[in-house]
Amino acid sequence: GTRAIAEMLKKNSSLRVIELNNNMIEYS
């Protein structure tokens, strides 16, 4: 259970980082 949640959090956080990077590139 906790491992699955941790994996989901890792995936979500990495996706958010990618989205933030894309947004910063667009705004720069």
Residue 3 carries which DSSP code?
A: H
Mean pLDDT, rounded, for 1-28: 90
**pLDDT score of 4 more than 90:** yes
pLDDT value for 9: 93
Cα dihedral 16→17→19→23 (10° resolution): 130
* Domain boundaries, given as residue ranges, for the chain: 1-28
What's the pLDDT band for 5 if we cut at 50, 70, 90? very high
List, as one string, the DSSP characters of 4-27: HHHHHHHHHHHHHHHHHHHHHHHH
pLDDT value for 2: 92
What's the pLDDT band for 28 if we cut at 50, 70, 90? low
**Joined tokens for residue 3:** 């491992």
